[in-house]
Structure 1
Amino acid sequence: MILTALAAAATFDPEAATRAYLATLNGAARAKSDAYFEGGYWLLLWGAVVTVLISWAELRFGWSAKWSGWAGRVTQRRWLRPALYALPFVLVTALLTLPWSIYTDFIREHQYGLSNQNLAQWGGDQLKGLLIQLIVFPLVLMAIFAVIRRSPRRWWLWATLIVSAFIMVGAVIAPVFIAPLFNTYKPMAAGPLRDQILGMAHANHIPADNVYVFDASKQTKRISANVSGLGPTIRISLNDNLLNRTSPAEVKAVMGHEMGHYVLGHVWRNLIAFTAVFLVLFLLLWWSAPRLLARYGSRWGVREVADPASLPLLMAIASVLFLLMTPVLNTIVRTDEAEADAFGLNAAREPDGFAAVSMKLSEYRKISPGPVEEFIFFDHPSGENRVRRAMEWKARQLNETR
């Protein structure tokens, strides 16, 4: 046994092992993967363009001003008007965005063989999402416009805290109340793999006594898992694609990665990081929106930012700012993902499982981008980097046995 380990350590070349894994994706499969992911770069741009055009139409044709006027006629309570305004805004915006959504989320997914839904099934999920938006968005809007009215000079600060608070509440309630609206969650069948997943969780002080499997295969071919929730809503979940399309070693590698997010406190760190992002965003909105309204507001029937009718303008500016901040947002997430990768390798001790599942993810992620490309467009480490780090981890473990 010792001699075998010594021989393996002496002959194992992590770079050669990495190339061997990368060679399993070639020809038409690699071209398809690259085309899908690279097409997503343009979707970022055109998505922002669509948002700006729809926002312009809502302002230019006076729809936004009419919705605000209708809300004012329905109620004399000024604090309630943004919530009422949100109803036609969400419905009309969703309708205008629908052709774009059908292309990006349904047609394109089928073109690349990633979707398992027919149009009616996809539309049903979209309708559920719309109903949730009709409940949540009025509350968010009501809170934000309240601070815009009451603190004209510092509303950007209070709006940031409001959005962060909603994100935190969403993280708590989503696993229990939102996710089951789209998928059925069932306890994972008893067996060695379930015991190994829970063993990893308990070894890393994750307070979970069950593992849930959800039926994502009714929607997509993608593999996925997560450790979601906060406090009493913490839940370890993996989708049925992960169970059905990967080996036990790959499942353990993925679950080790997901546990890393929880143990390393990425939920809280991301909340802080994205709070800083929203602070910059709202500060720029606070600075730019009044200047644009001073120039064009009379044409749109919008006099001030405190009027809910200004929302399309705020959304248009925000979409452009988010586009420009793409490298920053991706770097925040990619950094956490790289840390979770390292944690998962140590927790699961399945480097080949992690390398193999990284190759499976290349169905919809470009495997070998350039460094600038990865910095700008990747919110996860590239498949090549993930495989290489797994093989380097394996080499270190083999060397430690020498």
Structure 2
Amino acid sequence: MVRKWAGRAILVYILYVAVMYWYIFYGADTGIPDALRGTAADPATFLNARELKLSEEYSGLRNFIFFVSTPFEWLLYFFILLFGISRAIEKSALAVSRRKVIQTGIYLFWLSIISYMALFPISFIGYRLSKSYHISTQSFTSWMKDGIIEFWVNFGMMFIIVSVLYWLMKKSVKKWWLYAWMLSIPFTLFMMFVQPVLIDPLYNEFYPLKNKELETEILSLASQAQIPAEHVYEVNMAEKTNSLNAYVTGIGSNSRIVLWDTTLNKLKEDEILFIMAHEMAHYVEKHIYFGIAGYLGLTLIGLWLTSKIMNYIIKRWGHLLKVHSVGSISSLPLFLLITAMLLFASSPLSNVVSRYEETRADRYAIEMTGDKESAITTFQELTRSGLSQVNPPFLVKWLRYSHPTMLERISTIEKADTKDD
């Protein structure tokens, strides 16, 4: 029976990979609509022939890796259950100590190691791909260091979450999902508050913007938007990537506007001011807080669905998966499998909301700066530096893009009215 289920799972995965390969490299339409040919949104007007070729190649390969790796992780959790690996780890943890917290720590450590080792080849392929296309400038040693830091950060957070979660499962078989969601609210807010000052600095060095004249210009924009900002932060990303980025992070007194140094090095001042105005829009329109509310709402639905699905699967196929109860720590791969699939299924909805907010932020930035030209050249340079696909395949957009496509952003800006028009 185990071989039969494993064979079916592998066959389905292989067929899926074949279909996605055909779709991404042959079946999807990524051409530029005739109405936009020759406009600023047409990559042929701002990328040379080599850049056009590389952007199509790199984007296609990167998208293919995403669509291959996502169900591969699901397959991994399924096999950990099917072949009794989860049950074996649980038994070894029970043999070491009678204390639940120690048992959970031991189990989670070995599950994390197995997952890390199984997914490492895909991560390494992604790293080598970005290096070969000169997107990444990061050394292998630095990349491994970041990976190890990420492993332990994730392990620490998962240890807290899993310990509390399985304690709740044992205390309340029917309503653990509700209590888990209630506890997730303060935990989520706390993590967002400490992220900029405790977690992000583990990977990179953050410091106030060195260019004080530019900082004055940015703070002047912040003052116009009635944003109580004292500093704009710069982060040293040039040693890791050639891509450009800026973002808003944190909440409350720890909220920050952050610029990558690559952005500062490659963009003109007017282009940087447009980006800053865009990021300020997220603060002004409270997108971070709407995002938190949306995340918590989806978490509530997700935990409820997870509890229902886990109960059904364990009742129907628990003997096959070597899991006898929801409250057994050996059910964790099943929990991770279900939540990962639900998260993937919800991504089109969350991406639609995010793209709407990003479109609002673009519009706000144009109204604030009155500079359509800088907005257009900014997005053109972002496309060039990241070898981004201007018009990605439909499935890629709906499942991966939290921002509008560059084709949409540039064409929308061209049509926009500004105070200088």
**Equivalent pair of 1:160/1:278 in contact (CA under 8 Å):** yes
> What SS is found at the alignment partner of 1:310?
helix
- Correspondence for 1:269: 290
**Aligned mate of 1:33, from 48, 55, 70:** 55
Deviations 1:82-132 (A, max 9, x none): 34422222122112211111112x112123221001211110110111121
Shift of 1:57: 2.8
Aligned partner of 1:305 among 326, 340, 360: 326
Q: Do the aligned partners of residues 231 and 152 (structure 1) sit closer, same or farther apart at CA in structure 2, a change above 3 Å counting?
A: same
Once the two structures are aligned, what percentage of the paired residues are identical?
22
Please tell me whether the aligned partners of residues 55 and 316 of structure 1 are also in contact (alpha carbons under 8 angstroms). yes
Deviates more, 1:150-159 or 1:73-82: 73-82
SS at match of 1:367: coil
Matched with 2:92 is 70
The equivalent residue for 1:221 is 242
Q: Distance in 2 between matches of 1:50 and 1:33?
A: 26
Residues 1:90 and 2:112 are matched in the alignment: yes
Find out whether 1:338 has 2:359 as its counterpart.
yes
Give the partner amino acid of 1:388. Answer: S
The answer to whether the aligner puts 1:194 opposite 2:197 as a matched pair is: no
Residue in 2 that maps onto 1:249? 270
Question: Does 171-180 or 91-100 show the bigger shift?
Answer: 91-100
Instruction: Say which is worse superposed, 115-124 or 359-368, in terms of deviation.
Output: 359-368
> How far apart are 1:372 and its partner, in Å?
7.2
SS of the aligned residue for 1:227 comes to strand
2:14 matched to which residue of 1? none
Cα offset for 1:241? 0.2
Asked if 1 retains the 8 angstrom alpha-carbon contact of 2:192 and 2:251, the reply is: yes
Q: Does the CA-based 8 Å contact 2:168-2:179 persist in structure 1?
A: yes
Contact 2:355/2:404 (<8 A) preserved: yes
Paired residue secondary structure (1:302): coil
Gaps of 5+ in 2: 1-35
AA aligned to 2:213 is P
Matching residue's letter, 1:282: L
Alignment CA distance shift 1:72-1:370 (3 Å): closer
Is contact 1:227–1:235 with CA below 8 Å preserved after alignment?
Answer: yes
2:258 is aligned with 1:237: yes
C-alpha change, 1:95 and 1:162, in structure 2 (3 Å) is: farther
Mean Cα deviation higher: 364-373 or 351-360: 364-373
In structure 1, distance between residues paired with 2:96 and 2:331: 19
The whole-number CA distance in structure 2 between the counterparts of 1:163 and 1:365 is: 35
2:347 to 298, 318, 326: 326
Is the Cα–Cα contact under 8 Å of residues 160 and 279 in structure 1 kept in the other structure? Answer: yes
Match for 1:207: what amino acid? P
Q: CA RMSD in A?
A: 2.5
Paired residue for 1:380?
403
Shift of 1:246: 0.6
1:3-18 to 2 correspondences below 5 Å: 18=40
Give me the whole-angstrom Cα distance separating, in 1, the residues matched to 2:393 and 2:68: 23
Note the C-alpha offset of 1:193.
Answer: 1.2
The one-letter code of the counterpart of 2:40 is T
Contact 1:147–1:159, Cα closer than 8 Å, also in 2: yes
For residues 210 and 161 of structure 2, what CA distance do their matches in structure 1 show? 40
- The whole-number CA distance in structure 2 between the counterparts of 1:377 and 1:277 is 18
Q: 1:5 maps to which residue?
A: none
TM-score when normalising by structure 1: 0.87
Residue in structure 2 matched with residue 350 of structure 1 by the alignment:
371
Change (3 A) 1:100 1:163: farther
Distance in 2 separating the partners of 1:74 and 1:267: 44
Distance change >3 Å, CA 364–CA 172, structure 1 → 2: farther
Structure 2 counterparts to residues 106-125 of structure 1, below 5 A:
106-125=127-146
Aligned 8 A contact 2:38 2:44 in 1:
no
Distance 1:66 1:369, change over 3 A: closer
1:266–1:336 contact (8 Å) kept in structure 2: yes
Gaps of 5+ in 1: 1-13
Over residues 51-107 of structure 1, what are the superposed CA-to-partner deviations in whole Å (9 max), with x where a residue is unaligned? 122212322332211322333344434466434422222122112211111112x11
Instruction: Write the letter of the residue equivalent to 2:171.
Output: R
Deviation, structure 1 residue 268 = 1.0
Q: Which residue does 1:11 correspond to in 2?
A: none
CA drift of 1:22 comes to: 6.1
Say whether the 8 Å CA contact 1:44–1:323 is kept in structure 2. Answer: no
- Describe the shift of the 1:100–1:165 C-alpha distance in structure 2 as closer, same or farther (beyond 3 A): farther
What CA deviation, in whole Å up to 9, does each residue of 1:169-198 have, x standing for no partner? Answer: 221111111111111112212432110111
| Letter matched to residue 234 of structure 1 | S
Distance change (3 Å), C-alpha of 1:109 and 1:15: closer
Select the structure with the greater relative contact order (CA < 8 A; seq sep ≥ 6). Answer: 1
Partner Cα distance (2:370, 2:65) in 1: 37
Cα distance, 1:324 vs. partner? 2.7
The AA in structure 1 aligned to 2:79 is A
What is the number of residues matched between the two proteins? 384
